[in-house]
Amino acid sequence: MRAMVLERPGEELAEKDLPEPEPAPGEVLVRVLACGVCRTDLHVVDGDLTEPKLPLIPGHQIVGEVVEAGDGAEGLVPGERVGIPWLGWTCGECRFCTSGRENLCLSARFTGYTLDGGYAELVVADARFAFPLPDADSVEQAPLLCAGLVGYRALRLCGNAERIGLFGFGSSAHIVCQVARHQGRRVFAITRGGEEKRAFARELGAEWAGPADEIPEELDAAIVFAPAGEVVLTALRSLGRGGSVVCAGIHMSDIPPIPYEHLWHERQLRSVANLTRSDGQEFLPLAGEIPVKTTTTAYPLEAANEALADLRAGRFEGAAVLEVGLKQAF
């Protein structure tokens, strides 16, 4: 099979012809149709996340079709469409798994980081973490598997906040904006981009878009998607009393010292770690009901390095997606 492989962090991915993987007990073999390109992939490739398996096939926003089910892989049959997210395996036995917090599992494994991912024609996945998907456009569905899921979890952590600020209007924020508006919340898009970026946010439901120093009202909550620690201080300064800041990225530069006045009046600062299967069971049907419209730029599998470079440089709106096995057959 064709795959794009990370051999050493800091280097470009290498196109390889690899043996087809085989599903172990409890796993499914999946033909990849499309795989989203996430900022977390950049952190893995660039070496910001320091414990990848090597060599590694990145990619964790996978839409595909089941080819074969291993022994004990229940509930999935060949030909069924599935989505494979970042969280790829949990032990089911630690104190976090047994208390409904499997996203914090002490032994968790992650697709495209400690497990091979979707920058390939085939991938194996734990059947427990392969979400059934309806028949729809695979490229448009791919960003829902991380940008959507993690963004949705971040939005849930905002509680009942009415005025939500989204700091960094990229792949995840453009999905969260639509969900928040569907829930009747008011959305403020904080972006340093020009009028084109601001217009994009307004088209998706934001009532205001602009730089942080011009936010017209105090926020009840803010979600920080930008991987820059200094943005956390800016987000805290934007809050009203009792407000909260949720950091949605898996990696961020160090947060500068926080003056206590920014936390005074019961303001909160918290982070999102990974996702749970219940997040997927809630969000994916909701995304179809709204319906969430993803804005995507498609690349062929062999152009994965170009897609990562364009993401790094902010050359597109919404999300980048690799078209892998579309209209192909075994």
For 47, phi and psi rounded to 5 degrees?
A: 90, 10
Reported as a single tens digit per residue, the pLDDT across 47-61 is: 999 999 999 999 999
What CA–CA distance (Å, rounded) separates 51 from 7?
Answer: 13
245 bridge partner residues: 222, 269
Reported as a single tens digit per residue, the pLDDT across 241-257 is: 999 999 998 999 999 99
For 54, phi and psi rounded to 5 degrees?
A: -135, 140
Q: Structure pTM? A: 0.93
Q: Tell me the C-alpha to C-alpha distance, in Å, between residue 292 and each of 175, 279, 283, 287, 315.
A: 7, 16, 10, 5, 22
Q: Which of 158, 131, 208, 170 is nearest to 294 (CA)?
A: 170
Question: What does the pLDDT read at residue 326?
Answer: 64
* AA identity, residue 1: M
Please compute the mean of the pLDDT values over residues 138-156 and round it to a whole number.
97
CB 226 within 8 A of CB 251: no
Reported as a single tens digit per residue, the pLDDT across 25-78 is: 999 999 999 999 999 999 999 999 999 999 999 999 999 999 999 998 988 999
Please compute the mean of the pLDDT values over residues 76-85 and round it to a whole number.
96
Q: How confident is the model at residue 330 (pLDDT cuts 50, 70, 90)?
A: very low
Q: Does 10 score more than 90 pLDDT?
A: yes
Q: Does 93 score more than 60 pLDDT?
A: yes
Q: How confident is the model at residue 194 (pLDDT cuts 50, 70, 90)?
A: confident
Domains of the chain with CATH codes: 2-146+275-323 (3.90.180.10), 149-271 (3.40.50.720)
Task: State yes or no: cis peptide before 25, omega within 30 of 0.
Answer: no
Q: Which parts of the chain fold into alpha helices (H)? A: 39-46, 138-141, 147-156, 171-182, 195-203, 230-237, 277-289, 304-313
Q: Tell me the C-alpha to C-alpha distance, in Å, between residue 325 and each of 33, 199, 259.
A: 4, 33, 51
What string of DSSP letters covers 155-168? HHTTTT-SEEEEES
